[in-house]
Amino acid sequence: MSLPKTLLVSALGGGGTARYGDFILVKLPNGGFAATSQDFNMAQNWARGKVSSGSAQRDRSLFTDRFETLLARSGSGIATKGSRVTLRGIVAGLTQLGVQMSGYSIPVNINESVEIERKKPAA
């Protein structure tokens, strides 16, 4: 009797992972993404305890939704999301380690800070 497939196995779908220092590159059959090791470990532990829904696309979506910040590869069907500071750290760290970042969806304004102007209290 075989065990049911976990959500992690279904989401990776024959892909794999590679660790680069504090970062993880996740390779999927039709794309991939980069994330921090801490973020990946939390999502991985969650996905190991879940049974696959039977749909690799749905499992991949559920898996990537668990990440706070991830840097998606262009054309992978996954959106880059998260804190600009963390994204900037991922890009800088992977570049320093020699990873080519040209295939990733790096936000154009990643180095610009976003400041929210607060209304001044009425005097």
Closest CA to 35 of 86, 106, 100, 98: 86
Inter-residue contact 47 to 8 (CB < 8 Å): yes
Which helix (H) or strand (E) element contains residue 23? strand 23-28
pTM above 0.85, yes or no: no
Tokens of 85: 């500071």
Dist CA 60 CA 33 (whole Å): 12
Cβ proximity of 34 and 23 under 8 Å? yes
pLDDT digits (tens, 9 = 90+) for 11-68: 888 888 999 989 999 998 888 999 999 999 999 999 999 999 888 889 999 999 999 9
